[in-house]
Amino acid sequence: MNIKKVMIGWLALVMAITFVYPTSLTATEQTVVEASEVIELDVSRSLFSLTELRTVEISADFGEEVDLEQLEIQFGGKSLSEWKKWSGGSNYEGEPFINVIEGPSYVDGTTEVGATVEFGLLYNTSNLSNRTIRTQYQDFIGDYEFALVDPISGEKAATTVTLNVYDEFLFYDELKPAIDEVFASVEADGENDRYLEYQKVGESVEGRDIHFVILARDEAAVDKYLNETLPTALEDPAQLLEKLENGTMGDYQIPIWFNNIHPDEVEGVDAQVELLKKFALEDEVTFTNTDENNNESPVTLHMDGVLDDAIFLYMFTNNPDGRVANTRSNAEGFDLNRDNANQTQVETQQVNELISKWTPLSFVDMHGYVNGFLIEPGTPPHNPNFEYDLLIDNMLEQAHAMGRAGVGSSDLTSYFIAQLEWEDGWDDMTPAYTAMYAMLHGSLGHTVEVPTLSQDSLRAMVGVGLGSTLYVTENKDELYKEQLEIFKRGVNGEDNRAVDEYFVNAAGESIGRVRNGDDSFFPDYYVIPTDDKAQKNILEAHKMAEYLLRNGVKVEETTRQVQVNGTTYPKGTYIVPMNQAKRGLANAVLYSGDNVSDWNAMYDPVVVNFPALRGFDMDEVREEGLFSGKTAEVAEVVVPTSTIKGNGPKQIIKNSTNDTVKFVNAVLADGKSVEVATESKGNIVKGDYLVETEDVRAYANQYYVESHPAGKGANVETQSLTQPKVAATGSDQLHFSLRQLGFELVDAGDANVIVSDGSNFNSEQIAGKSFIGIGGRALRVVEESGLLTDFTTAQTRGNHEGLVKADVNDHPLTAGYEAEELLYVTTGTWITDVPEEAEVLASFSEEDDFYQAGWWPGHEGAKGQTMAFTTQVENTTYTLFANDLAFRGHTEHSYRLLANSIFQSTSN
């Protein structure tokens, strides 16, 4: 609960309550002594901080002498002695953190009483980044009554003061009023004609607005950039480069984007509000800069000149729900800074569409907290889809500019750049991070980590924004030339070998982009079929095209049939031409990926490969101009819905898409009949579903299912499905994936199927049910339980991951999958022995190149080993997967393995 209002009138009952948990300290429990009138208490300051020691002079005139020894100073209706320091956990039993250091005493022989009070550090530190503290400190933020009380007469002198974590902190509900106040101040100032625009980007999972503000010299500057400068940069960058070279570019502005995605790393939100105030309201912004020797000097940004060069974009936080809950994750339990490429969450979809629209030159993502003031660029390995040689020098210089301004603006004494200080472990290989995603748009993308949650780090983060602005505006032409060169390489289809020296192996040797014998790292085209003969998942093919458009990638479709090397692509096939400015972003999500397992450390999983993770067919075409004149640009993708053929009594529904699972769950929830085929016969394949035609029609516009009439002669063995009662234990992402598929989750005691990707395992709880275990932790607890004879596993490390070739056996639980698949594995686990009676569902391929991409030192041990099996012991069914079926919502191609296992558990 966040306390923002002072409530006065509680009696002395609360005074007797033991001071244990933070809520016993909040303003809601203030007690006061009854008084006929309240005298004004004069205070030398009214704002106090949880991260900065502060003293205050207080005084009041009671009109007559009082007994100074009896006089009591209260805060929030409590004696100061009751406000005790944190002592660990949720306990507050230490020494008082508010103390009288002088007085009370009379002032100069008058009846005025004065005292000096010190507000110390509630948590014994100015750094509240400790995760235990982070869940509690916000309970103290609010307005409180500060009072001098004479218990004899009942008279009281009081005023309202504020306690905050640092002066600028704002709760989510205070963000929009703070933004509005800036807008109102600009409007009220008759001489301030700067352009401000507020946009609601979209809504969070829980329906909160995502706030976005544009600050520019005028509206014309915004219109010119979005409608003239940027379109030309993306279509004909050489034209703008020529103008910059010959000095005919004229007046233009480039975007500087400030961002926060982890809202419990609070400075990243509040620093942006401070930067908005400074840049929107002040004519001159002066700050202290430092040089490489920490010598200080003042620097002034003349805002009229700055706005001649730049447009400022403020994404105060991508995650409003996290700001309210004081968590880094969103309401679905996802760390959004691991979702920027995959975009499974509504917040990343909406924000990244806007990043794609603006294509900023500078992108600063504001974070905390690491051991030190860290600024990117990151360590190798670097994502090969970056034009790294055109980014790195400027990114290093901008990092220094941000660090020096951050040090000069605060009491921090140093900063460090990850790439210059560390060998590995802070890499920019994955585009899952916001700053890396921005780099794929040609941005100078930086993650900045302040070291502490404190007043001082807030000041440093404001300095970061000032320093980045100074660097960009002082070097605008040169920086923009480099971004245009990135776009030019894309438009010209150029794979420039200047990048190769930056792509190195763990030994520091340059390996360049891995071209596998091709002339270019990039194909000329990616082709995504949309017909049922060449595409195993038509729904995901359309969703891929939709994703690319949303992220600023040009997509075309064939206007007639085209033959390529013996393959016929019908009209309507999606074509991704790679001679375009944003080809690096397209390739980052479509290419097969890299094996970086030689590195000692990686910060996060690196596999993206959408065709494998989402399960659709795609072809590379390496023949320049092959589709020229045979395509039309796609402006909008219409995701298909079901087409029902024939009027027979039943339809056969192919087990081919995740929408099929959603459809089956919806039909079962409505009490309708669903059967699943247990054998293949005629036009029915094992694992297909049989549903009454009228029931299929009822859902045709809600889901995409591939169906055909069963026919009067259809005679195949089937099992009837009942609606499963599913319980999930483990990650929030597993819960999300199950809900995505339409399963209604229940408590474990009410379930007939328990799915787990965690280490919570209760053998009594699963008795008589089906248990589906996913990944290393779930498999290990089953192994340790001893319930399965001869079941053993092996593991390298829990954060190892990769995309592997798998041999998939013909089984009802693998229905809808091919004999050879690419499947995603995380937790570095494989199965070494299975029970004698177990049925193996899938195995790691025995081919030497079974490991395709990712970071998994020691993956060689998994070669040819079991990946998944199912078995029954007494009346309990165990289905165990070493591969991850629901990792962060990214492994959508594996979802049907999970659904098959659940449905099979409830079939009869």
Q: Is residue 71 part of a domain?
A: yes
CA max distance for the chain: 110
Per-residue model confidence (pLDDT) at position 492: 98
CA dihedral 138, 141, 147, 152 (to 10 degrees): -30
Q: Is residue 279 part of a domain?
A: yes
- Would residue 360 be called left, alpha or beta, if left means φ above 0 and alpha means ψ between -120 and 50 degrees? beta
Q: Point out the domain boundary residue: 579, 608, 633.
A: 633
Q: How far apart are CA 49 and CA 64, in angstroms?
A: 34
Nearest alpha-carbon partner for 742 in 661, 632, 643, 645: 661
Q: Is residue 136 part of a domain?
A: yes
Q: Point out the domain boundary residue: 113, 145, 164.
A: 164
Write down the residue that tokens 């989402």 correspond to.
Answer: 614
Same domain for 156 and 229, yes or no, is no
Per-residue model confidence (pLDDT) at position 714: 65
Q: How far is CA 73 from CA 5, 41, 777, in A?
A: 20, 11, 55
Quote the pTM value: 0.94
DSSP secondary structure of 571-620: TT-EEEESSSTTHHHHHHHHS---B-TTSS--SS-----HHHHHT---EE
Q: Is residue 108 part of a domain?
A: yes
Same domain for 206 and 248, yes or no, is yes
Same domain for 883 and 855, yes or no, is yes
Same domain for 202 and 297, yes or no, is yes
Q: How many domains does the chain have?
A: 5
Q: Is residue 319 part of a domain?
A: yes
CB 604 within 8 A of CB 514: no
Q: Is residue 187 part of a domain?
A: no
Same domain for 449 and 580, yes or no, is no
Same domain for 773 and 711, yes or no, is no
Structure tokens, 190: 């008759």
Here the CATH number for the domain that contains residue 136 is: 2.60.40.10
Same domain for 50 and 104, yes or no, is yes
Same domain for 342 and 398, yes or no, is yes
- The ranges of the chain with pLDDT < 50 are 1-35
Per-residue model confidence (pLDDT) at position 447: 98
Same domain for 608 and 704, yes or no, is no
Per-residue model confidence (pLDDT) at position 907: 74
Same domain for 742 and 693, yes or no, is no
The secondary structure of the chain in percent helix, strand, coil, rounded to multiples of 5, reads 30, 25, 40
Per-residue model confidence (pLDDT) at position 646: 79
Same domain for 432 and 576, yes or no, is no
Q: Is residue 550 part of a domain?
A: yes
Q: Point out the domain boundary residue: 663, 693, 720.
A: 720
- Structural domain of 548: 525-633
Q: Is residue 820 part of a domain?
A: yes
Each residue's pLDDT tens digit, 316-366: 999 999 999 999 999 999 999 999 999 999 999 999 999 999 999 999 999
Same domain for 249 and 389, yes or no, is yes
Each residue's pLDDT tens digit, 544-574: 999 999 999 999 999 999 998 889 999 999 9
Here the CATH number for the domain that contains residue 317 is: 3.40.630.10
